[in-house]
Amino acid sequence: MSFRVNLQPFSNQRDPKPSFSFDRMGNSFPILQEKKRSYDLLIAGVLITGLAAVGVFATFGHALFSEELPQEAAVVHAPAILEPDTGLAFTPGAFDGIDITARSAIVYDVRNDVVLYARSAEEQMPLASITKVMTALAAKDVLPAETIVTLTESSVATEGNSGFEVGEQWQLGDLSAFMMMTSSNEAAQAIAQTVGNTLRTRESAMQSDALDRLAFVQRMNLKGRDLNLSHTVFANASGLDVDIASAGGYGSVRDVARLMSHLIQHHPDLVESTRNTGAQFTAENGKVYSARNTNQFVHNIPGLIASKTGFTDLAGGNLAIAYDTGFSHPIVIVVLGSTWEERFSDIETLHTATQLHLRGAER
């Protein structure tokens, strides 16, 4: 904003032939006349100075007094994660020449809501056990962590080797943590049946584990729509392939990044167990389970917040992680369509490039 001031020019020099005023007796008052002129000049000077100050403040005041630093101001206007992958480039070229196996990958700066790197970010891919991230979230939305989950015959018969027994009972929170760490398919089915049973209409007297699981999967898909996961759809709670041509869940790396960022910001308890290589869990009957994380590379990423693996014949190797670079600056990295081993090296490659990129912001 600028101001334009039009003032008549004036002289700050005395008129060599001042015009005097006279009283009734013919006497002149030159001293008073001179004082009046001085006061007029003083008032005009103050007016001009004031108006000039207003113009300067209007033009530069925001920059002088804004609490935003230049970099932070840029972040405010950065594109959202669902928009094109432009982002903020602190170190141009940090991701140039990246060599990874994954068909699809993304690096998402959660704090600044910026995509730092993307490969086929919108492609819909089989999720495998990354599906269980939504299983844990949808279950928590419906039932408290203290809810008792009973392992039924159909859940124990699900593909897996968790060692559960029919009739065994767990608290939902413990079973969910066990599922996230070990990627237990049996646990996912048991959770789906228990939660789904509460979702089904009470008018139906039909008892069916299959209908319970279906009700829960519908809830998972509704939750996905709530979170704007536009490329995501679930067919079961475990992520296991339905058949040789159909996966248990599909989604894009962009959707997985949004889902992971939602969990670490709003439900960090759901991913807490995935930070460790192993832990012990106890069922309600006192049986103790020694759990081993399906991601044995958790200590390779400093500041790890969350981790979830996935692997099926259709999906190949999948991995999603979230870590804190320091000062509450979380980053989410997701790879889909890699291999059993190279999903881990893909993540490490992208992590190294991300750290190089961010160090450039500090130089």
Hey, where are the domains in the chain? Answer: 1-66, 79-362
How far lies 264's CA from each of 79, 124, 259, 305, 357, in Å?
A: 21, 23, 9, 7, 22
Confidence of residue 263 (pLDDT cuts 50, 70, 90): very high
Give the pLDDT score at 132.
Answer: 98
Which pLDDT tens digit goes with each residue over 180-205? 999 999 999 999 999 999 998 655 65
Which pLDDT tens digit goes with each residue over 76-115? 223 344 443 444 445 668 898 899 999 999 999 999 999 9
Query: For the packed helices 253-266 and 131-142, what is the interaxial angle rounded to 10 degrees?
Result: 40
How far lies 221's CA from each of 120, 190, 226, 237, in Å?
A: 23, 18, 9, 11
Tell whether the model's pLDDT for residue 276 goes beyond 90: yes
First to last CA, the chain: 35
pTM: predicted TM-score of the whole model, two decimal places: 0.75
Confidence of residue 4 (pLDDT cuts 50, 70, 90): very low
Give the pLDDT score at 360.
Answer: 76
79-362 CATH choice from 3.40.710.10, 1.20.1250.20, 3.40.50.300, 3.30.565.10 = 3.40.710.10
**Position 60: which residue type?**
F
> Which residue do the tokens 């160090």 mark?
359
Give the pLDDT score at 303.
Answer: 95
Give the pLDDT score at 75.
Answer: 30
Name 149's bridge partners. Answer: 170
Tell whether the model's pLDDT for residue 305 goes beyond 70: yes
Confidence of residue 55 (pLDDT cuts 50, 70, 90): very low
What is the C-alpha to C-alpha distance for residues 130 and 116, in angstroms, rounded to an integer? 22
**Position 318: which residue type?**
N
What is the C-alpha to C-alpha distance for residues 290 and 281, in angstroms, rounded to an integer? 7
Range ranked top by mean pLDDT from 68-72, 170-174, 205-209: 170-174
Give the pLDDT score at 207.
Answer: 78
How far lies 322's CA from each of 35, 96, 198, 325, 328, in Å?
A: 77, 22, 32, 10, 12
Q: What is the DSSP string of 284-340?
A: TTS-EEEEE-S-TTGGGSTTEEEEEEEEETTTEEEEEEEEE-SSS-EEEEEEEEE-T
Confidence of residue 327 (pLDDT cuts 50, 70, 90): confident
